[in-house]
Amino acid sequence: MAKEAYTGPLEQIDEWCWRIPKSYKPGMRVDGLIYASEALIDAIRRDQAPEQVANVAYLPGIQTASLAMPDIHWGYGFTIGGVCATDPAEGGVISPGGVGYDINCGVRLVRSNLFYQDVKPHLSPLVEELFREVPTGVGKTGKYRFSHKELRTLMGEGPRALIPRGLAVESDIEFTEARGCLDGAEPENVSERALERGTSQCGTLGSGNHFLEVQLVEAIFDAEAARTMGLEKDMVCVLIHSGSRGLGYQVCDDALKTLRGVPEKYGIHLPDRQLACAPVESPEGRHYLGAMRAAANFAWCNRQLLMWQAREVFETIFGPTWQELQMNLVYDVAHNIAKFEEHDVDDRKRKVWVHRKGATRAFPPNHPEIPERYRKIGQPVMIPGDMGRASWVLVGQPGSMSKTFGTTCHGAGRQLSRTAAVNLSKGRRIDRELANRGVIARARSWRGLAEEQPDAYKDVDLVVEVVDRAGLSKKVARMRPIGVIKG
């Protein structure tokens, strides 16, 4: 995380939004808009992330504004929490930095018919079994092996390809964003190196901020929406946060190498080489999009297999089948992705490429891409917080379409670098501190817990308050972690 404070203009528009005027830099094509509250804006000013918001405004074809969510913090090229839409009809570009290295990192929420009183006596063995059976950590391989040919099938079809293997059911597909498959994936665009990295990593959690949590529904804020999702107070759920692992990282790395010098080739002038991009309709742009979509489909397969393993562990600990435990997928959303979507821009409908990097799609009620079950309440949105406090379930609202290209925040957002978090943890036992909060946590190393300690993150309640009050997404339920496994 950059240490320098942002010193440019930041004008408050209303209680929940701040503007960087396009007059700030001569190359900015649009304003920058940051959704935040008074409680969050000082921390945002202390980071260089607003400068990245201004830099993104240079991208050709960008529409309306360069946007950032309240969980904004410094990232590669784009800020994490950044959103921008580009119109290919106006020379719009695609930028790997606007998707991120972990393509289709995202979260999925699984409910159950178990309540806290049912799980509390078994919580410790449940967490231990999850930690034993679900592969976690850097480079950790899993029990599922796929040949390069099979990987290409997964990248082309998404988790639907797992149904014949008995590792997915139709409802899992129905309640996954985009039904778990982006059209236009081109697995042949994915390098052999990326395939090699993905061969044994589908169904693995990884490290860093990725996790599998056993959570408790602590409070309900929208009874109708919660009932529609099958959520009740004191119900036990599972939240899974992971992405495309080494395969997706390699796809991004390959693309960034390919795109060196490409902006200059097309006469594009950028303030930061990390914003490397290509016109959407160029050969380089189309090649990246085909590979990115393939990696996104792989990520949905990864989360599907992580969920399947969690279901098997619950069967082991509690006895009934996962179907009898009603461990049904509530929803799965991506938060590192670019998608071609129709939006109202300047009072007319346009098809634009929406980059969401550390930002979650949040379509409102009656949007045709929402599963029929949720059409009336809006798209479910899961916002993970930190290990010691809370996560949230929201639903998309109309304001997201008029303000942020159908987008809301994706998490709490880091406020300490990993190095700073580790330094803060010296002489402490984070696992014991979490246990004192009623959370059993298991990780591969002391450092893993230290990097991800609650103090490393903003208060997710403050972040969610902004998107709720700004009309981007609405509170449905607050979830409290009771068991955590991490890499």
3-class secondary structure per residue, the chain = CCCCCCCCCCEEEECCEEEECHHHCCCCCCEEEEECCHHHHHHHHCCCHHHHHHHHCCCCCECCEEEEEEEEECCCCCCEEEEEEECHHHCCEECHHHCCCCCCCEEEEECCCCEHHHHHHHHHHHHHHHHHHCCCCCCCCCCCCCCHHHHHHHHHHHHHHHCCCCCCCHHHHHCEHHHHCCCCCCHHHCCHHHHHHHCCCCCCCCCCCCEEEEEEEEEECCHHHHHHHCCCCCEEEEEEEECCHHHHHHHHHHHHHHCCCHHHHCCCCCCCHHHCCEECCCHHHHHHHHHHHHHHHHHHHHHHHHHHHHHHHHHHHHCCCCCCCCCCEEEEEECEEEEEEEEEECCEEEEEEEEEECCEECCCCCCCCCCHHHCCCCCEEEECCCCCCCEEEEEECHHHHHHCCCEECCCCCECCCHHHHHHHHCCCCHHHHHHHCCCEEECCCHHHHHHCCHHHECCHHHHHHHHHHCCCEEEEEEEEEEEEEEC
Cβ atoms of residues 62 and 85 within 8 Å: yes
Query: 92 Cβ partners below 8 Å, 6+ apart?
Result: 59, 60, 61, 62, 63, 86, 279, 280, 352, 353
List 210, 343, 355, 410, catalytic entry? 410
CA atoms within 13 A on the CB side of 65: 18
**φ and ψ of 357, to 5 deg:** -120, 105
Nearest to 478 by CA among 126, 463, 121: 463
- Nearest CA to 296 out of 142, 105, 97 is that of 105
Is 410 a catalytic site residue?
Answer: yes
Residues classed as catalytic: 410
